[in-house]
Amino acid sequence: GNSVTQMEGPVTLSEEAFLTINCTYTATGYPSLFWYVQYPGEGLQLLLKATKADDKGSNKGFEATYRKETTSFHLEKGSVQVSDSAVYFCARAPNTNAGKSTFGDGTTLTVKP
């Protein structure tokens, strides 16, 4: 079935460091891909998405590029802030309207001042 594999955490960085969180997905079809973020005490919310190959999603300084050839959607940010501390989830949409979305297990990011 469809699956998403996410880089295991936790990840601890100093402020202004470069962030990469790896995400790969099973290559059946061309699903839309998402990164969701869960800040402490809050619900999941969409961070960015890409709906077709080579698309780049971006928001709040975060970017991720839909790479069909490597079936990847890695999340990057050039300079993290303390406020970016959260749990990040990679997700893939189903191939059809009757399918279900699949989420990775989440990566916890802690940014220290």
Partner 1 sequence: EAGVAQSPRYKIIEKRQSVAFWCNPISGHATLYWYQQILGQGPKLLIQFQNNGVVDDSQLPKDRFSAERLKGVDSTLKIQPAKLEDSAVYLCASSLDNRGSYEQYFGPGTRLTVT
Q: Name the site residues for partner 1 (rule: CB under 8 A).
A: 4, 6, 31-32, 34, 36, 42-46, 49, 51, 89, 91, 93-101, 103-106
SS (H, E, C) 15-69: CCCCEEECEEECCCCCCCEEEEEECCCCCCEEEEEECCCCCEEEECCEEEECECC
CB of 30 to partner 1, least distance (A): 10
CA distance 42 to 57: 22
CB of 93 to partner 1, least distance (A): 3
CB of 18 to partner 1, least distance (A): 24
| Residue with smaller CB distance to partner 1, 51 or 81 | 51
